[in-house]
């Protein structure tokens, strides 16, 4: 029986990150995204460039054992970013952030952002944040069906 994987139409992003001194490189791929959600992810990634990458912009990449003050500054920046991209954030986390009156409820959104950083490879077990290296944004105009032919090559 043939096996197929479907890739739905929409945007797809590949996020490359690293930690420490450039080791432990990782790439995460997310697909079936809307343009608004991609814009939110790009802004979230840009927040996590290397802390040494720019003197005029505060970035949060490569935070190993941050102080309580550093964590609070990071949370404040995350909250501001979510407010700028509220529609995208709600579309990602709607079931958890819409109250009974169908109004956006920002309680715990920073924790959700920290979980999201893990999902996109910008946080991990040892590092509070990783360094955003690059992002590839692709648009898939129609659903794609890919056949699994592994059995033709692996015994």
Domain range summary for the chain, segments of one domain joined by +: 17-134
pLDDT of residue 127: 80
Alpha-carbon dihedral 13, 110, 128, 15, rounded to 10 degrees: 0
Distance CA 132, CA 19 (A): 9
pLDDT of 17 higher than 70:
yes
Handedness of CA 50, 53, 55, 57 (dihedral sign): negative
pLDDT of residue 95: 59
Mean pLDDT, residues 123-152: 90
What are the pLDDT digits (tens) for 51-60?
Answer: 666 665 678 8
Mean pLDDT, residues 41-50: 91
Confidence category of residue 35, pLDDT binned at 50, 70, 90 = very high
Closest by alpha carbon to 127, among 139, 118, 138? 118
pLDDT of residue 59: 85
pLDDT of residue 49: 87
Say whether 21 sits in a helix, a strand or coil. Answer: coil
pLDDT of residue 29: 95
Closest by alpha carbon to 63, among 126, 118, 134? 126
Closest by alpha carbon to 73, among 110, 115, 108? 110
What are the pLDDT digits (tens) for 84-111?
Answer: 988 888 788 765 555 666 555 555 566 7
**DSSP run (H or E) holding 38:** helix 35-46
Mean pLDDT, residues 55-76: 83
């Amino acid at each position: 029986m043939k096996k197929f994987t479907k890739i739905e139409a929409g945007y797809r992003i590949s996020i490359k990150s690293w930690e420490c001194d450039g080791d432990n490189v990782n790439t995460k791929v997310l697909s079936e995204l809307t343009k608004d959600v991609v814009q939110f992810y790009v802004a979230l990634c840009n927040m996590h460039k290397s802390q040494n990458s720019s003197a005029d912009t505060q970035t949060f990449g490569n935070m190993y054992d941050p102080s309580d003050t550093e964590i609070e500054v990071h949370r404040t920046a995350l909250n501001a970013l979510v407010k700028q991209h509220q529609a995208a954030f709600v579309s990602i986390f709607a079931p958890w952030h819409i109250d009974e009156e169908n109004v956006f409820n920002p309680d715990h959104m920073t924790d959700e952002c920290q979980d999201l950083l893990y999902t996109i490879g910008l946080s991990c077990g040892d590092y509070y944040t990783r360094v955003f290296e690059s992002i590839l944004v692709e648009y898939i105009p129609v659903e794609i069906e890919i056949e699994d032919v592994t059995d033709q090559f692996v015994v």
